[in-house]
Structure 1
Amino acid sequence: MVEEVLTASVVGSLAFPVALGLQQRFLYAPLRITSDRRIAGPLLGLGSVFLSGCCASLAAIATLKAHRTITKSPNDEKTWLDELPTDWQNLIACGLGSALVFRILTGRYHSVLPSNIAKRGAFARVSIPARRNNAFSPSARERFHKIGKKHGCHTCGRKWRVNKFHRDHQPPTALAREGEKQVYYPQCAKCSAQQGGVVSQRTIQIVTHGTSLRLYHLWMPVPLAWFGLRYLYAKEPVAEHSSSDELTSRLESETIEKSRDEGEEFESGGNKIDINREVVTVNKNKFFEDQTNKAVQETLCDVRDAYESPRERNEIAAEIQSKSDIENLHFIIRIMAVAAVVIVWIFRTD
């Protein structure tokens, strides 16, 4: 079970950034919708994250079901993995959960849209005020380099293989209004070279960044945990065995009815017989002497049948399986929590 969930989580984690990148390349870039739009950017970005979360959840669920179909034998007990829902209500919950996790991991919804190379990019987070004479002290230069290494090029997001970040005026000097304040954002050499021609020609160039991944691009299998917990705790509790009083009353009633059918009359109550740890009260002093052993044998058979009936065995097996599922699910959640902490620690400078 743990292996199946981990495999599905890996598939979902791969599907999430792939879906975001495909939307950038084939939807937003052709429509020239970029991250610098103040209102449309965050709203469309939220929709993109929501849709990608649904796709990742579907991919994870499909992987789980395929794995179960291949590896499950006819004798295996049914678990919550066999009843994962794919209806639109649960997909909406998956999308919203992915959007929430994206935001918790410090993601900004507009950052999943492509960048306009002449505008503030999708990865623009921290800037330094620009000066008229472009003077840059050594301490400011060092700080600017650290900002670039931490957040990457504000246009394409590249940071790992960039040795030097250029100071990009935002807004560009050629497009800035008189008296408008400018700031410096780090920009890689490739984007800086492209920006010069675009600004001078007053054209628009879209830059996609589907391969520039950050911590918030990590898809967490929260939907799987939600489905598992909801399935386990929504199940009706397994019926417990009857109390001694209820069992005694039922067995006495059955014995009385059987004896009356045979034309015998007696009264119950009195002596006690210990049968399979349940105390059954039977008044054998008032049984006819030749029917005493027969009544006891019938009572023994009734108790044995009550505890060894297929229904009881199925209920006990279901209870054991339910407890096993809960333990496995708690173990998976603990692994997810530890993995999240480790990933956050690794990318703590991101």
Structure 2
Amino acid sequence: MRGIQDVYSATKKVVDLWSYDSKTVLYSSSIGALVFPVSLGLIQHFVFRTISIANGHLLAPVLGLAAVGLSGCASAIAVTEASYRLRVKQNYYYWRDEPAIFKLPKPYSLDDKDLKLLAAYFMGTVIVFKVFRGRFASVLPSTVKSPGAFANEGIIGSHRYAHKSQRQKIVQIGQKFGCHTCGRKWFIKSFIADHQPPLSLSRNNKTKKYLLGLLQYPKVQQKLYPQCVRCSLKQQKHLQSPGNYSEVVSHASSLRIYHLFLPLPYIWAFLQDVLNHL
């Protein structure tokens, strides 16, 4: 019981100290929250899309994890830099009981200590991403030839076009999760039941034979996912003319809860202050 009281007392002292600089915390945390999804979007568009690696790639989870961690490091650096610049602008005068909020470490020199700090931010961001139920492969762009980055739920289909009840179910799934390719769900009036793999590819596979026609390739299991009209047109163009239209679709502007970045530098500083006051 004594230990709980000590932690409560130390936490209260730290909260009182931090209240002097709440505007700085809010401002710099907002900067970090903005930098995280922007960094992920830039990596997705200018790296993965450029080299045509999508969410269905074998290495997508590993590459997505690296992108999340690196974006977290960039956001953490943005938090510390924004905090420093605002405090300099406001000409803060420090007192004897200076909280860790006023001396956030800035990992710029990349010595052993800074690398450990960046590694902590990297792992912290990855853990938060998973706590918010993010999938590492989902930060990569989608491909129109397989379930997209937002393919959370689908229904069993066939090699025929979807019937009325299936289309109604697809609309419900789309309103909940959005287009499975680009993630958009707001202001979308309806969703198309998209076959995965696409019917044209599946039909071609179904008619192929080998060993003089004695054996056939096994039928591919079809699933239906909600897809917006824009992504459906991109899919049609690529399937009709693969050489002229890319199969990769980026979705950097489609945000989810796992794109939220917690201000890890402040969390680390807060814990340091609590421990120092015990």
| TM-score bucket (shorter structure) | 0.7 to 0.9
Which residue matches 2:40? Answer: 20
Given residue 217 of structure 1, which amino acid in structure 2 is its aligned partner?
A: H
Once the two structures are TM-superposed, the CA of residue 187 in structure 1 deviates from its matched residue by 0.6
Gapped regions of structure 1 (runs ≥ 5): 236-321, 324-350
Which residue matches 1:219? Answer: 261
Pick 1 or 2: higher relative contact order, CA cutoff 8 A, min separation 6. 2
Residue 237 (structure 2) pairs with residue 197 (structure 1):
yes
Aligned alpha-carbon RMSD (Å): 1.8
Within-5 A mapping of 1:1-350: 1-37=21-57, 39-74=58-93, 76-77=95-96, 78-85=98-105, 86=107, 87-138=114-165, 140-176=166-202, 177-178=205-206, 179-203=219-243, 204-233=246-275, 235=276
Question: After TM superposition, where is structure 1 displaced by more than 4 Å over at least 4 residues in a row?
Answer: none
Once the two structures are TM-superposed, the CA of residue 72 in structure 1 deviates from its matched residue by 3.7
The answer (yes or no) to whether the contact 2:145–2:198 under 8 Å persists in 1 is yes
Question: TM-score, normalized by length of structure 1?
Answer: 0.63
Once the two structures are TM-superposed, the CA of residue 102 in structure 1 deviates from its matched residue by 0.8
After superposition, give the CA deviation of every residue in 1:92-132 in whole Å (9 maximum; x if it has no partner): 11111111111111110000011112222111110011134
Q: Distance in 2 between matches of 1:10 and 1:208?
A: 25
The DSSP-based 3-state class of the residue aligned with 1:11 is helix
The answer (yes or no) to whether the contact 2:44–2:140 under 8 Å persists in 1 is yes
Given residue 219 of structure 1, which amino acid in structure 2 is its aligned partner?
A: F
The DSSP-based 3-state class of the residue aligned with 2:134 is coil
Gapped regions of structure 2 (runs ≥ 5): 1-20, 108-113, 207-218
Matched length: 234
Which residue matches 2:4? Answer: none
**Percentage of matched positions with identical amino acids:** 37
Distance 1:80 1:135, change over 3 A: closer
Please identify the structure whose Cα radius of gyration is greater: 1
Given residue 11 of structure 1, which amino acid in structure 2 is its aligned partner?
A: I
Q: Distance in 2 between matches of 1:190 and 1:119?
A: 16
Given residue 234 of structure 2, which amino acid in structure 1 is its aligned partner?
A: Q
The answer (yes or no) to whether the contact 2:167–2:192 under 8 Å persists in 1 is no
Which residue matches 1:310? Answer: none
Once the two structures are TM-superposed, the CA of residue 134 in structure 1 deviates from its matched residue by 2.8
Q: Distance in 1 between matches of 2:228 and 2:234?
A: 10
Once the two structures are TM-superposed, the CA of residue 218 in structure 1 deviates from its matched residue by 0.8
Question: TM-score, normalized by length of structure 2?
Answer: 0.79
